[in-house]
Amino acid sequence: MKSVLLTLLLGLLSLGVWGQACKCQDKGGTEACKPVYNGKTLGVLGGLGPAASADFMRLLVVKAPATVDQEHPRVILLSQPQTPNRNDFIFGVGEDPEPALWSGLQLLSSWGADILCVTCNTAHYYIDHFRSRLDKPLVHIIDETVGAARERSPEGAWLTATLGTIKAGIFQDNAARSGYAFVVPDEETRNEVQEVINTVKAGRYEEAGALMRAVCLKLWSVRDIPVVAACTEIPIAYGYTGLPAEKCISSLEALADACIRELYD
């Protein structure tokens, strides 16, 4: 009796696999089955800064395996630029941004978000204090960026980020847990990177690109490994440098890729 049931079960499973294969063949048979939107809603806490969250929304559109409007995911964006400065408070200046980050994520959850993300790397220093208390899963930009760097450049990568992110060590600690290592620029270059970020936030993109180009060329003269854009303003600046896209590992792209994986089956 057991052998009969086992044979029947295996037969049903094989029919399911064959049925899926047939569906793919019915659509041409030459391409792999296209991922399907699973109906989950992504909640994005943005405005940190506004240009970065706008670029993230563009990346979601570009990366979604969609050919018509209805195949794109449902996304709720809360743009909250009034959140206190994440970088400054690490140095003891200004107001603590943690309550605003917590309330923003809770608001997105109450609006129906099934998955959460935040388009700011430095913000995750504070988010890690309460991540375990969130009632919805969070796609963590630091986790995803470290994973992308490890895959793209196993030998290491330059870490370009806000001064606060570098000081807090959130990238270095995360990477060390998996045996990966970032190369941190010297103090002068770290300050130049912060100026790149501030210039993007000021809306002066071409100027930011020129500054970022100089930073990259200086770093590559020391060691020719990719630059990790570990602040969500840096990929915007890098886009204005005229430098090869493959030499920049974007935290925004890593986050967008991870969110797409969560939203499609």
Active centre residues (catalytic): 120, 231
Cα(232)–Cα(139) distance, integer angstroms:
15
Of 53, 62, 222, 257, give the one whose Cα is nearest residue 151: 257
* Cα Rg of the chain (Å, integer): 21
* CB count in 10 Å sphere of residue 161: 28
Task: For the chain, give the longest Cα–Cα distance.
Answer: 76
Measured at the CA of 130, the angle between CA 127 and CA 136, to 5 degrees, comes to 90
d(CA 91, CA 97): 13
d(Cα 107, Cα 104) in Å, to the nearest integer? Answer: 5
Contact 249, 152 (CB under 8 A): yes
Q: Are 41 and 107 in contact (CB under 8 A)?
A: no
**159 phi and psi angles, rounded to 5 deg:** -100, 110
Q: Looking at the chain, which runs of residues are DSSP E strands? A: 41-46, 74-79, 115-118, 138-139, 157-160, 182-183, 227-229, 248-250
